[in-house]
Each structure stands twice: as C-alpha cells, then as structure tokens.
Chain A
Amino acid sequence: MCDFQPKLVAWLDNELPENQAAEVERHVQACQQCRAERDRYEQVSKTFDAYCDALMSAKTHPNVLRWVPAVSGALLALAATVLLFTWQRPRIDPRPAVTPRAAAAPIQALAAEPVLSAEPVAPKKIHRRQAILPVQEQVQQPTAKWQPPETAVQITIPAETMFAPGAIPEGMNFVAELSIGPDGSVERLRLRP
C-alpha cells in the first residue's frame, strides 16, 4: 500500500495544507495505484451524495405520478357509474313524465265513473276544487272522452294445455276463450271447438 493513500480523501476534500496537497498531487500523477484509489473514492462520494439527494427528494416530494393512474381510474369509474345511472333511467321507465295536472286526470276520471265508485263523490268537494283550480276543467276534457274498452284482455287457451295428457278423450278438442275486463274480472268464458 502506498504511503500517500491515507491522505487521499483529505486531499480530495481540500482539507490538506497547501504544501501537503501539492505533494500528494504530484504523487498521484505518478502513481497508478493512487489514481485508481482516488477514482474509487470520488465515485463513492458521488454515489453517497446522489443517494442522499434521492432520499431527500423521495421523502420531501413523494412520487405523485404513481397515484395518477389510480386516481384517474377511480375518476373514470365514477364517471362511468354516473353516466350509466343517468342514461338507464329513461330506458327503465319509458313512461312520460307525469305532471300533477296529468296525474289528477285519472283520479278525476275514476271519481266520475259511476260503476267504480260505490257512492257518488260529494259534489261540493268537486265543485270547490273546480272553483279553486279552474284549469282542471281543461284537464277533464280529454279524460271525459276516455272510455275504457269493454274487454281489456282476451285469452284463448287450447284444451290440451289446460288438462293433463290423456284427460281429454281422443277426437275431442276445444279452446277456451277468456275475456278479462278492465277491473281484472272475467267477463266472459266461452268454449268452442
């Protein structure tokens, strides 16, 4: 080992007196081993400095970029969820929006229907409402014209679907026709071949 090697670090740090520094410098130019050691020490010092800088940078400025994909994904998912719900609403419920005025129309129609109401609606109440809300007269016009169909649903059922196989004698076949009224009751049942 060269005698100058213990002074190399202090020489690199400019901590040696001028005369000693000049002596070490002359020696390093001539000694290959000391030059190699000097290079190693310089490299270690640089690496240590870089590590300290990187450590400080990592601690004081956390890597925000790492959170960008996660935050972006969450925002996209949130936006997609909101879009999904807002878009599906008209598909799920395609009925037109019911205004209070329109909603009142069937009620008025049912009240005016003598068949469905057990007792006639008190005329005073209706009269008062009409007096307070004259606009309802216009609403009643289309509902007054509305008449429920006599038969809401008609169903035709073949006999073989109504009975178990073999329950009907061979050669005998018929269908049942059901007419269901607007109130859900069976208005007519007819069997025909």
Chain B
Amino acid sequence: MSDDSVPLALPFLRFADSSSEVTALYRELRKPLLRYLVCLGLSSDEAQDVVQDSFVSLQHHLAAGGTQDNIRGWLFRVAHNQARNRQSSYHRRFLHPLDSEMDVVAADATPEKAILEKEKFRRLRAAVGLLPESERECLLLRAGGLRYREIGDVLGLATSTVADTVERAIKKLAEKCNV
C-alpha cells in the first residue's frame, strides 16, 4: 500500500510499518489505553496484558497492510473488544466499573482536602453508576482524549449520536453531583 493512497490520521504514521513508529505510538497511547481499561473494570494486570496484545495486533495489522485511518480509534476498539473477551461474564465484571469503593484520594492530600475530594468522588461515583453503559463508555473514551468520531469508531456509533450521548451524560453528572 503506497503512502499517497492512504489517508493517515497521525502524521508520524507515514512509515507506520516500521516498528519505531509503533513504538512512538505505544509511548503516546499506552497510558490513555491503560486508564480506559482500568476504568472499564479491568485489573491493572489485565489492562497491561490487553494493551500489549492490542499493540501486537496493531503491528500485525500494519504489517498486513491494514488501513491506517484513525489508528487511535482502531487501537481503542481492539482494546475494548479484547477487554470484553477477557471477561467470562461482561455484565458481572463491568456492571459498575467506576462504582468502586477503592480509596482514590491522593496520598499527599491534606486531611481537609482528602475529605472534600472523597465526598466529591463519592457523589460522582454514585452518579456514574446510574448512567447507561453507552454514556459511561462515551465519557471514558472522551476522558481518554478521543474525538467524537473516534469514539464512534470504537463503539460503532454515529458521530452525532456520540455528541448527543456525551452531552446528555455530562448534564446528568452536573445535576447529580451538584458541582
């Protein structure tokens, strides 16, 4: 596949068949991917495995001459599907991925700040737990830095649907969190 005929989503993917470009992509997207998978409900180890597998798949995809359009969305979609496949019961494991009682307050926070932050996160957690799955996933992918079009690619939704879903989810959170 020649470079001229392929629309590239990222400028450094011009020579995407080389492993160095995949390495650069790995450095850029590893953390957002990990965060998305962890927030989706995977453990840290599972998320690491899924990220590794996703980049191996990307390497094979590019080596096989696969499309290089929207590589970010492609990676998130692969990781998302692999995460689903890893779960024996998706609904059991992903029912309330963000509804965790884990103490997520920063360790260096002062006691007052820790209490305020804990309360804020508690309200947010409760509000997120009430969102439909599609709205939750849209918010997570948006927090991962994906554009609406990329989110649509990952979740199989139209861009306008993603815009409506994100807007609806943000409004719900704003109302229920009282921020």
Contact = CB atoms under 8 A, between A and B. Distances in A.
A59 B102 contact: yes
Interface stretch (B4-12, B20-28, B64-72, B170-178): B170-178
Interface in B90-139: 98, 100, 102-107, 120-121, 124-125, 128, 139
Interface of B: 34-35, 38-39, 43-44, 47, 98, 100, 102-107, 120-121, 124-125, 128, 139-140, 142-143, 147-148, 163, 166-167, 170-171, 173-174, 177, 179
Given A9-B166, A40-B174, A48-B124, A56 B143 contact: no
Contacts of A53: 35
Contacts of B105: 54
Interface in A106-139: none
Nearest to B105: A54
A47 B177 contact: yes
Given A15-B163, A59-B44, A65-B107, A47 B102 contact: no
Given A6-B167, A9-B170, A49 B143 contact: yes
Given A58-B102, A60-B44, A47 B35 contact: no
A43 interface: yes
A61 B23 CA distance: 24
Interface residues of A, number: 27
Interface string A33-61: 00001001101110111011111111110
B166 A44 contact: no
A54 B170 contact: no
Interface string A58-73: 1110010100000000
8 contacts: A10-B167, A13-B166, A15-B163, A40-B174, A41-B171, A41-B174, A51-B124, A65-B107
A40 B106 CA distance: 23
Contact of B38 (A6, A10, A55, A65): A55
Nearest to A37: B174
A15 B170 contact: no
A15 B163 CA distance: 8
B179 A51 contact: no
Given A47-B120, A51-B125, 19 more contacts: A13-B142, A15-B163, A40-B174, A41-B174, A43-B179, A47-B121, A48-B124, A48-B139, A48-B143, A51-B121, A54-B105, A55-B38, A56-B34, A56-B35, A58-B104, A59-B44, A60-B34, A60-B47, A65-B107
